[in-house]
Amino acid sequence: MKIPLRKLQLYNIINNLIIDLPSPSNISYIWNFGSILGICLIIQILTGIILSIHYIPNIELAFFRINRIWRNTESAWWIRLIHANGARLFFIFLYIHIGRGIYYKSYNLIHTWIIGVTIFLITIATAFLGYVLPWGQISFWGATVITNLLSAIPYVGNHLVLWIWGGFAVDNATLNRFFIFHFLFPFIILALIIIHLFYLHLSGSNNPLGLNSNLDKIPFHPYFSFKDLLFIIIIIIFIRIFILLFPFLTFDHDNFLPANPLVTPIHIQPEWYFLFAYAILRAIPNKLGGVIALVISIIILYTLPFINNSIQSIQFYPIHKIIFWIFSIIFIILTWLGAKPVEIPYIIIRQIITVFYFIIFFRIPLSNYFWNKYIY
């Protein structure tokens, strides 16, 4: 029987990109988080499409429509829980994925890394837009505070804020725009992931030794495809247990109240996965300086391939290894500080840790110079 040309081409693409893809034989389970992120994104897109059928982007109806999804829509409660908790789990895997890239210097694959950081930035924007949609107290005030940060931009800041709001306050136009972009951004992320995988397959995957060699590679299937499948099954079981036993563990209790522009919550804070950047923002007394520090704290990831490309992997370099784990501890401390109020002693601690956060990135080229000149 003659196979249609289109099906044959599709089979060849799948065979080259997945089945016969040459992969380093020594990569560990920490490399599975890339495929896990892809599965999580698909789950988020599917559950998001189902929820969007029932959602109404109107400030008078959005909060109560979400409650109706919880209470009255058949089987929608667990879809909503999967979507909300899946976003939080997505960021855990994303930070592990980025941390692995830093630890094993995967950013030496420059094109793959640049696309990956871009995916990270758009994912942050998507998560923020989605957090506004339930239209609870924290949703409303979080949107107000975060969008107001743009007013710190000289000359055009205030006009930019009004343009994003679609008026003189966060209102119907704002919610409608946020809903549209929250729906569209995941498909942009999906397209960028395809480009990300294209460059990854073009250059080959990194490995724990950091050696970009074609001498010790094996086919992706079945050696790594079954590892991915096992990991995916474990994650799905974990998500199921988590949403049944701890469905609201990471929810802010103020967000169970409908948005009220006349009542400001005592403590406004974003989701936990944004707290490190929020702590850096509040560490700077000047509003414009805080916004600049917040932006730099994320986009500085773009610079890693250019400031730290003298070695292949930090696994066997004690100085770089210590720097990485210090950076990880600083990240965790900043996340903890982001949830603390603006008062003594948290203000001072936040400023000190923020300084250390940026020193780590500026110290990387210096440690490379020291290692190459005096040790290596």
Tens digit of each residue's pLDDT (9 = 90 or more) over 271-328: 888 888 889 988 888 888 888 888 888 898 888 888 765 556 666 677 778 888 888 8
b/e code 163-200 from CB counts within 10 Å (16+ = b): ebbeeeebeeebbeebbeebbebbeebeebbeebbebb
d(CA 124, CA 279): 16
For 39, other C-beta atoms within 10 Å of its C-beta total 16
Nearest of 315, 300, 274 to residue 106 by alpha carbon: 315
| 27-96+108-207+218-268: CATH architecture | Up-down Bundle (1.20)
| Confidence band for 127, pLDDT divided at 50, 70 and 90 | very high
Torsion over CA: 123, 163, 148, 66 (sign): negative
Question: In the numeric block, which tokens belong to residue 54?
Answer: 């029932």
| Confidence band for 241, pLDDT divided at 50, 70 and 90 | confident
Tens digit of each residue's pLDDT (9 = 90 or more) over 20-77: 666 676 677 888 888 889 888 999 999 999 998 888 888 888 888 888 888 887 778 8
**DSSP strands (E only) in 232-289:** none
Q: What percent of the chain has pLDDT over 70?
A: 84
- Distance between first and last Cα of the chain: 62
Q: Which helix (H) or strand (E) holds 24?
A: strand 22-24
The single-letter DSSP state of residue 371 is I
Q: Is-contact 326 360, C-beta < 8 A? A: yes
Question: In the numeric block, which tokens belong to residue 162?
Answer: 């009004």
d(CA 194, CA 200): 10
Say if residue 369 is exposed, middle or buried (CB neighbours under 10 Å; 0-12, 13-18, 19+): exposed
Active site residues: 201, 205, 227-228, 271
pLDDT value of position 154: 86
pLDDT value of position 22: 67
Distances, alpha carbon 273 to alpha carbons 9, 217, 281, in Å: 41, 36, 14
Tens digit of each residue's pLDDT (9 = 90 or more) over 192-236: 998 988 888 777 777 777 665 556 677 777 777 778 888 888 888
> Where exactly are the structural domains of the chain?
27-96+108-207+218-268, 270-376
3-state secondary structure of 315: coil
DSSP 33-54: HHHHHHHHHHHHHHHHHHHHHH
* Topology at the third CATH level for domain 270-376: Helix Hairpins (1.10.287)
- Choose between 311 and 98: higher pLDDT: 98
